[in-house]
Amino acid sequence: MASSNDIRATFLDYFARNGHSVVESSPLVPRNDPTLMFTNSGMVQFKNVFTGQERRPYSRATTAQKCVRAGGKHNDLDNVGYTARHHTFFEMLGNFSFGDYFKEQAITHAWTLLTKDFALPKDKLLVTVYHEDEEAAALWRKIAGLPDERIIRIATSDNFWRMGDTGPCGPCSEIFFDHGPHIAGGPPGSPDEDGDRFIEIWNLVFMQYEEGPPGTRTALPRPSIDTGMGLERFAAILQGKHDNYDTDTLRALILASAEATGRDPDGAERTSHRVVADHLRSSCFLMADGVLPSNEGRGYVLRRIMRRAMRHAYQMGAADPLMPRLVPSLVRQMGQAYPELVQAQALMTETLRLEETRFRSLLERGLSLLAEETGKLGEGQTLAGDVAFKLYDTYGFPLDLTQDALREQGRTVDVSGFEDAMAEQRTRARAAWAGSGDAATDRVWFDLKEKLGATEFLGYATESAEGEI
Ligand code: ATP
Ligand code: MG
Ligand code: MG
Ligand code: MG
C-alpha cells in the first residue's frame, strides 16, 4: 500500500522528471501578505511570480504545500470531524507553470499521473469545467476520452478563479473521484453535491486573463497554470479507503488518541478522535511555524483550534492533558517530511500542556453552565446570544466551540444576539475607560483599535466579527 509519504514523493518526482523544480513548502504564515491569515494553497508563495512582479530561476515548479483553512476566507473548521474530506491542516500537492505550458499540457500531466503512474480506474473519474470553457471540455474529450456526461459544466465562481478583485484570473477544472453509490451525495453541480460520494481531488486553474477595473479583462500573452491536489483525499483513494481519516497518517493519530483515552476509535467518540487528530496537526504545524496561542489575530485562531479539540478530549474523559501526549505520534508520522516538527517538538508539547491545563477548569465550569442553560430550552430552541457571550467572556469558550458542543444536540446559537452582547460590552468598556482626559484623543484611539483589531493580522475588509474575537 502506498503510504502518504510515498504518494507525496511520487507526485513530486513525476513533475521533477517533467522539467519542474521541486520547491519547498512555504511557511503557514505568509511572508509578504498581511491580508492573508494562513497559507491556504500552493500558489500563495508564487503570487508575485504569477503577476510578473517577481522572477524565479525556473518557469515550472512543483510543491507539497502545508495549508491551513481555519479562520480566514477559506474556513473549513466547522466541517472537521463531520465530513470524510475536510481538515483544518492538509497538504496540497501542486504543479505550476509561470508562462510556460498551458491548458493542454496541464490536463495531460494530470491525466497521465492519475491513470498511468497511480493507475486509478478511468471510469471512476469525472471532471468539471467552467461553462464557457469549450477549450477545456474539448481537451478532456481528446486527452482522456471522457464522455460528455462526465465533463460537467459549472457556471458558478467555483469554476472561475480570481487572485483578487483585479489581477490574474481564469477558468478552472476540477477532477472528482466517485467513491460509489453506497455513499450519499450527488455529482458536482447537483443539489446534493455536498455529500461525500463524489470527492474533489484536484483543481486545475488556467490563469489566462488579467482583470483590471470592472469590465476590462484582457488575455494574458503568456498564460499560467496553478494546480492543487489534496494529499489526504488522494491517499484515501490509493489506500482503498473512502474517508481521509482512515488513511495512514490520520489513522495513526486517531489510534494514539484512542490509546491515550482508552476509548474505542470507531465507537461513540469517533468524531472526537477525528477532531483531536486534525486539530493536533494544525496546532503543531502552526506552532512549528512560529504562531503561539494568544487572544488576537492568528494566535487566537490557533487558540480556538486548540480549545475546540480540548473540549473533545475532556468529554472523552481524558484525565490528563491529551494533546501533548499525541505529539510523538505526529512527529513519527510527519517529522521526516517536515523537520520543523522535530525541531519544535518541545515547544509544541509544552505549549499544548500549558494551554490544556489552564483551560480545563474553565471548561468544566463552562460546560456545566452550558448544560444548565440547554436544559431550560425547548425542542428546536436556540441558545441565547448572551449565554454564548458569557461562555466566551467568562469561560474562554470561542463561539465555534459552543456551536460545536451544541451541534451534537442539533442546536444552534443565536449568533446575532452574541454579536450584540459583544458590541454592548465594547460600549461599556469605552464608557468605563478613564481615558486620557482628552475626548478627541480617546475617540481616535478607540476607533483605531476597533478598526485594526488584531495587531499582527490586519484582517480582511469583509471579515465578520468572528474573525477577531
Ligand atoms: P472543496 O470544494 O472540497 O471544499 P475546494 O474547492 O475548496 O475543495 P481548492 O481550493 O480547489 O479546494 O483546493 C485544491 C484541493 O485541495 C482540493 O481539490 C482538495 O483536494 C484539497 N482541499 C481543499 N480543502 C481541503 C480541506 N479542508 N481538507 C483537505 N483537503 C482539502
Ligand atoms: Mg472548500
Ligand atoms: Mg470545490
Ligand atoms: Mg476546488
pLDDT grade for 290, boundaries at 50, 70 and 90: very high
Residues with CB under 6 A from ligand 1: 41, 69, 76, 86-87, 90, 92, 200-203, 228-230, 232-233
DSSP string, 194-246: TSSSEEEEEEEEEEEEEE-STT-EEEEEEEEEEEEEEHHHHHHHHTT-SSGGG
Q: What is the mean pLDDT of residues 24-49?
A: 93
State in Å: Cα 86 to ligand 2 middle. 8
CB 275 within 8 A of CB 245: no
pLDDT of residue 214: 84
Q: Which residue has the higher pLDDT, 127 or 73?
A: 127
* Phi, psi at 422, each rounded to 5°: -65, -45
Name the closest-CA residue to atom 14, ligand 1: 228
Q: Which ligand is nearest to the CA of 43?
A: 1
pLDDT of residue 468: 30
pLDDT grade for 444, boundaries at 50, 70 and 90: low
- Whether pLDDT at 275 is above 70: yes
pLDDT of residue 216: 87
- Residue 460 one-letter amino acid: Y
Q: Which ligand is nearest to the CA of 79?
A: 1
pLDDT of residue 440: 62
**What count of other Cβ atoms lies within 10 Å of the Cβ of residue 116?**
10
- Whether pLDDT at 431 is above 90: no
Beta bridge partners of 95: 62
- Whether pLDDT at 95 is above 50: yes
Which residue from 390, 383, 381 is spatially nearest to 404, judged by alpha carbons?
Answer: 383
Q: What is the mean pLDDT of residues 144-164?
A: 95
Q: What percent of the chain has pLDDT over 70?
A: 92
Residue 321 burial by CB count (10 A; 0-12/13-18/19+): exposed, middle or buried?
A: buried
pLDDT of residue 452: 52
Q: Which ligand is nearest to the CA of 175?
A: 1
- Whether pLDDT at 378 is above 60: yes
d(CA 231, CA 284): 18
pLDDT of residue 35: 82
Please determine, for the modelled complex, whether the ipTM score is greater than 0.95.
yes
pLDDT grade for 436, boundaries at 50, 70 and 90: low
- Whether pLDDT at 292 is above 60: yes
Q: Which ligand is nearest to the CA of 230?
A: 1
Which tens digits make up the pLDDT trace of 294-343? 999 999 999 999 999 999 999 999 889 999 999 999 999 999 999 999 99
Which tens digits make up the pLDDT trace of 379-412? 889 999 999 999 999 999 999 999 999 998 899 9
pLDDT grade for 1, boundaries at 50, 70 and 90: confident
* Phi, psi at 198, each rounded to 5°: -95, 110
DSSP string, 362-420: HHHHHHHHHHHHHHT--TTPPBPHHHHHHHHHHH---HHHHHHHHHTTT--B-HHHHHH
Rg, C-alpha atoms of the chain: 23
Atom of ligand 1 nearest to the CA of 92: 16
pLDDT grade for 442, boundaries at 50, 70 and 90: low
pLDDT of residue 460: 40
pLDDT of residue 166: 86
Name the closest-CA residue to atom 25, ligand 1: 86
Q: What is the DSSP letter of 68?
A: E
Name the closest-CA residue to atom 21, ligand 1: 230
pLDDT of residue 461: 37
- Whether pLDDT at 465 is above 60: no
- Please, how many CA atoms are within 13 Å of residue 116, restricted to the half-sphere of its CB? 8
Name the closest-CA residue to atom 8, ligand 1: 200
DSSP string, 10-58: HHHHHHHHTT-EE-PPPPSS-SS-TT-SS--SGGGGGHHHHTTSS--S-
Name the closest-CA residue to atom 1, ligand 1: 200
State in Å: Cα 229 to ligand 3 middle. 11
d(CA 156, CA 104): 23
Average pLDDT, the chain: 92
Which tens digits make up the pLDDT trace of 172-231? 999 999 999 999 999 999 999 989 999 999 999 999 999 988 888 999 989 999 999 999
State in Å: Cα 466 to ligand 4 middle. 24
Global pTM reads 0.91
376's grid cell: 431550560
